[in-house]
Structures are given as C-alpha cells and as structure tokens.
Amino acid sequence: MDYSIFTRGHYLLIFISRDLRVGMAKLKCADYGFECEFVVEGQIEQVIEEFGKHTEDVHGIDYSKEALMQFILRKK
C-alpha cells in the first residue's frame, strides 16, 4: 500500500466501505495519530471535500483533493 502522498510522518487509514462503482467511499481519521473520531462517508466527491476540510481545519494538514482522490482510486 502506498502512503507516499502523506509526507508529514503520519499515516492515514482509509477505509473504503462501499463499492467505488456506486461512487461511495468512507474516510476515517481515527488512526491518524490524533485522538480524533472523525469519519466521513458518502459520495466520493463529498467525502474528499469534507475530509480535506477536516484535515486542514483540525489538523493543519492540507491534502489536495487530487491527492485524496488518487489515494481512494488506488484502493480500488
């Protein structure tokens, strides 16, 4: 598994609980190295939007939407 897009010494567990063919995904922040129970689940675009906003606002880590999308797609 390639975590190379996460360059700040943390690794992020991303759980894809839905089939990507129906455009659903789930991102979980709990094992990020923070005490954080943030989970976002829904359509992929919404998940990327909300998760990216969360990591930036709460953890100060700005992942591009493209990076998050690529990461999800790699899980396919």
| Interface residues toward Zn ion, by CB under 5 A | 29, 36, 38
Closest approach, Cβ 29 to Zn ion, in A, equals 3
Compute the chain's Rg from CA coordinates. 11
Q: How much helix, strand and coil, in percent to the nearest 5, is found in the chain?
A: 40, 15, 50
Residues 6+ positions from 56 with CB-CB distance below 8 Å: 62, 63
Nearer of residues 24 and 36 to Zn ion, judged by Cβ: 36
Nearer of residues 5 and 36 to Zn ion, judged by Cβ: 36
Nearer of residues 16 and 61 to Zn ion, judged by Cβ: 61
Closest approach, Cβ 42 to Zn ion, in A, equals 16
